Amino acid sequence: MTTPQDPGAAPRRCLAVVLAAGEGKRMRSHLPKVLHPVAGRSMLAHVLDAVGEAGADALAVVVGPGRDDVAAEARAWAPQARVFVQDERLGTAHAVLAAREAFHQGFDDILVLFADTPLVRPETFSHLREKLSQGAGVVALGFAPADPTGYGRLLTDGDGALLAIREHKDATPEELAVGACNAGLMALDGARALGWLERIDNSNAQNEYYLTDAVAIARGEGAACALVMAPAEEVLGINDRVQLAAAEAEIQNRLRRAAMLDGATLVAPETVFFSHDTVLATDVVVEPHVVFGPGVRVGEGCVIHAFSHLEGATLAKNVAIGPYARLRPGANLADKAKIGNFVEIKKAEIGEGAKVNHLTYIGDASIGPRANIGAGVITCNYDGFLKYRTRIGADAFIGSNSALVAPVEIGDRAFVGSGSVVTQNVEADALAVARGRQAVLPGWATAFRKKMAALKAAKKG
Ligand code: UD1
Ligand code: MG
């Protein structure tokens, strides 16, 4: 939080009030609506992040009674946020006033945001603030939905100046014919906001304290009210899981576009799913049907083959993974490492140029540079109680279908014979074979067949 500065020189100070006290019944969920994730993080986190980017100096989050989970999420993403409880859900103006105390520090701009409207871009918040700096008392955010049913209508005069916002349930037939609707978010002049909000009453169809009434009240006092229009997909409010999926689709499209414009090739972008924080360097190629969970960083020149799933993984340069690879949290792949099909990697360092090509589980392990891990190798990292590490040295060769029972170390350049169950450390440059020795009995099969055929004939006779 900034301290009061010389108003002549200082940038405008902004308080953002995030309304998150809605019940979200239509989600039909045990999880509060605003905690449902979009692109890998909660709607609330998206809003806090966007408003932070737009330069808010202070944040107030209004939650419903007993909603410690929502409060905790707010603090997790914005430790400086103050959390206020709205004891009764009496309308959007009532909700803003629950954060009344936060206003007293003296802000130039007040932004009111809805936590269930997670796709608003930081630039849009900046546009709202710009209008305040140009002298507006209240700035509404408008959009033109395909179907305006249920939204507040933006009533303007002949010059397009905003006169009032009329809620759907209070509107006359003429007002209902207005196509421009209120997205809900609003910016108010910090010096006058509290006075206007306190004058709002609940004499309307829903007996609610409508934030939207601030427009007519401000106009009544001679303040100018302005309008910023946004594309409908940006102000999508989420009330049910159909809208949740629509928001996910919109944000995925944004993330795909951003990834491509930043220099990654997405062969079939509509089939790739990102997390809000996925980082792809230039010349990364992502084949179809790839899912990125949170915390993935992919370095230059990497290829993610089709049907791979990554989460909490770091790929250095020119790494290739998949098709059908699974990288779990803590997978850390050095330059030119290669992870093949049906391979799962968890909490493991894979050295430069190392290969883990087929049907393998590597967990709680480190693999040295250029090591080759054969098909079907398993690091047995768990005994049902605790987890243990496997260390494989540089240039080591682990034969196919071996089980490395951790804790265990395989030295540099060592070989492990195929099908081994390795329970003891193997020193550098050694060969370890831990399986039954092969026995070959010449002519045994012929003798066996003869004996059995005779037995069978005797039984029939
Ligand atoms: C609001 C606007 C409407 C606009 C629409 C856009 C008002 C009066 N109306 O209507 O003009 O077209 O959004 O979607 O503002 N909330 C609280 N406490 C409350 C009431 C609401 O925290 O007591 C929060 C909700 O969690 C939600 C937001 O405020 O995030 C909006 O509330 P909601 O009930 O959805 O308002 P609408 O009736 O949709
Ligand atoms: Mg709503």
Using the atom order of ligand 1, give the atom closest to the CA of residue 62. 22
Q: What is the pLDDT of residue 4?
A: 40
Tokens found for residue 375? 């098909």
From 23, 34, 114, 138, the mutation candidate for ligand 1 (largest count of ligand atoms within 8 A of CB) is: 114
What is the value of pTM for the model shown? Answer: 0.92
On the 0-12 / 13-18 / 19+ scale of CB atoms within 10 A, 147 is exposed
Residue nearest to atom 19 of ligand 1 (CA): 91
Cα distances from 228 to residues 174, 181, 184, 205, in angstroms, run 23, 11, 12, 27
Q: Which helix (H) or strand (E) holds 82?
A: strand 82-85
Annotated domain spans of the chain = 14-235, 241-432
CATH 2.160.10.10 for the 241-432 domain, yes or no? yes
Give the pLDDT band of residue 159 (cuts 50, 70, 90).
confident
Q: What is the pLDDT of residues 386-398, one digit of tens each?
A: 999 999 999 999 9
Q: How far apart are CA 20 and CA 432, in angstroms?
A: 61
Q: What is the DSSP string of 266-327?
A: ESSGGG-B--TT-EE-TT-EE-SS-EE-SS-EE-TT-EE-TT-EESS-EE-SS-EE-SSEEE
Q: What pLDDT was estimated at residue 158?
A: 85
Q: Which residues line ligand 1 (CB under 6 A)?
A: 19, 21-22, 62, 86, 89-92, 94-95, 114-116, 151-152, 165, 167, 181-184, 210-212, 237
| 213: pLDDT strictly greater than 50 | yes
**Helix 43-53 vs helix 122-133: angle between axes, to the nearest 10 degrees?**
50
CA of residue 27 to ligand 1 center, whole Å:
15
Give the tens place of pLDDT for each residue, 404-413.
Answer: 999 999 999 9
Res 456 pLDDT > 60: yes
> From the CA of 19, which ligand is nearest?
1
Cα 168 to Cα 149: distance, rounded to the nearest angstrom: 7
Smallest CA-to-CA distance from 389 within 370, 423, 366, 372 is with: 366
Instruction: Supply the residue whose CA is at minimum distance from atom 39 of ligand 1.
Output: 151
Residue 254 CB partners (closer than 8 Å, separation 6+): none
The Å distance, Cα 95 to ligand 1 centre, comes to 9
Average of pLDDT values for 37-45? 98
Q: Using the predicted structure, report yes or no on whether residue 53 has a pLDDT greater than 80.
A: yes
What distance in angstroms lies between residue 97's CA and the mean position of ligand 1's atoms? 14
Does 14-235 carry CATH code 3.90.550.10? yes
Q: List, for residues 216-236, the tens digit of each pLDDT value.
A: 999 999 999 999 999 999 999
User: Which pLDDT does position 10 carry in this prediction?
Assistant: 73
Give nearest CA residue, ligand 1 atom 13.
Answer: 184
Number of the ligand 1 atom closest to the C-alpha atom of 90: 23
- Name the residues annotated as catalytic: 358
Reported confidence tier of residue 23, pLDDT bands at 50, 70, 90: confident
pLDDT above 60 (res 2) = no
Q: Whose CA is nearest to atom 26 of ligand 1?
A: 22
Give mean pLDDT, residues 168-178.
97
CA of 238 to the centre of ligand 2 (A): 7
Structure confidence at residue 341 (pLDDT)? 98
Q: What atom of ligand 1 comes closest to residue 91's alpha carbon?
A: 23
Whole-number Cα distances in Å, 2 to 104, 226, 325 = 14, 27, 47
Q: What is the pLDDT of residues 409-429, one digit of tens each?
A: 999 999 999 999 999 999 999
Average pLDDT on 143-152 reads 96
Return the ligand 1 atom nearest residue 23 CA: 26
37 cis-preceded (ω within 30 degrees of 0): no
Would the pLDDT of 369 be above 70? yes
Tens of pLDDT along 59-104?
A: 999 999 999 999 999 999 999 999 999 999 999 999 999 999 999 9
| Per-residue pLDDT, 8 | 55
**pLDDT digit string (tens) for 114-133?**
999 999 999 999 999 999 99
Write the pLDDT tens digit of every residue in 273-309: 999 999 999 999 999 999 999 999 999 999 999 999 9
Structure confidence at residue 3 as a pLDDT band (50, 70, 90): very low
pLDDT (tens digit per residue) in 101-113: 999 989 999 999 9
Cα 23 to ligand 1 centre (Å): 11
